[in-house]
Amino acid sequence: MATRIQLNFPGLRLDDYDRVCEQLNFPSDWPDGLLVHGSTEVDERLQIVDIWESSGHFDRFVEQRLGSAINQALADRAEMPQRDDEELHTFYTR
């Protein structure tokens, strides 16, 4: 079931996000199961809002790619985000 996953990184900013994206070759190398992705900065913290086919798809992406990309791009500044998941009742696209 489609799932909204929101990540909040209190100690990171958009320039940190850009470094991680470079490490991932994102968006060119689009992750399996990711339907929609957005990033912004709210109250001086990085926020990511995604729609994934399932939370399992996201968990595999973190395990296989994202975790190491964050560590490589940010080194000792890498941090675990606050994560909020919500299964969607409906999800429509054009």
Looking up residue 25, the CATH number of its domain turns out to be 3.30.70.100
- pLDDT digit string, tens, across residues 4-27: 999 999 999 999 999 999 999 999
Residue range of the domain that includes 49: 3-87
Residue 42 is assigned to a structural domain of this protein: yes
Residue 94 is assigned to a structural domain of this protein: no
Residue 51 is assigned to a structural domain of this protein: yes
How many domains in the chain? 1
Q: b/e per residue, 19-45, with b = 16+ CB within 10 A? A: bbbebbebeeeebebbeebeeeeeeee
- pTM of the full predicted structure? 0.92
Residue 83 is assigned to a structural domain of this protein: yes
Strand order in the sheet with 34-42: 34-42, 45-52, 3-9, 82-87
Residue 20 is assigned to a structural domain of this protein: yes
Report pLDDT for 51. 98
Total number of residues shown for the chain: 94
